[in-house]
Amino acid sequence: MDFRYVTLWVFVLLLLGIGLIALYPSPGMLAFGTIVLPFLLVFQVWAILRSRDKVGEGEGQWYEHS
């Protein structure tokens, strides 16, 4: 699994969700924000932490692009 693309899509979904809540603050959107967005945020953190485990031990700076 390429975590770079997964984290990019989750980030886009988080931004869209926050934008929709800001534009349409209805009870349904607020429920969406309190139920779905925290799970996306937890998944984002998990994917970022997991991506560090997938990089080889020899690469010292896993977060920098070469």
pLDDT 10s digit of each residue in the chain, 66 long?
666 787 888 888 888 888 888 898 889 888 888 888 889 888 888 888 877 666 555 555 555 555
Q: Give CA–CA dist 62/56, Å, rounded.
A: 9
CB of 47 closer than 8 Å to CB of 11:
no
pTM: 0.63
User: Would you call 65 helix, strand, or coil by DSSP?
Assistant: coil
Q: How many residues does the chain have?
A: 66
Query: Quick check: 21 and 33 in contact, CB under 8 A?
Result: yes
pLDDT at 10: 84
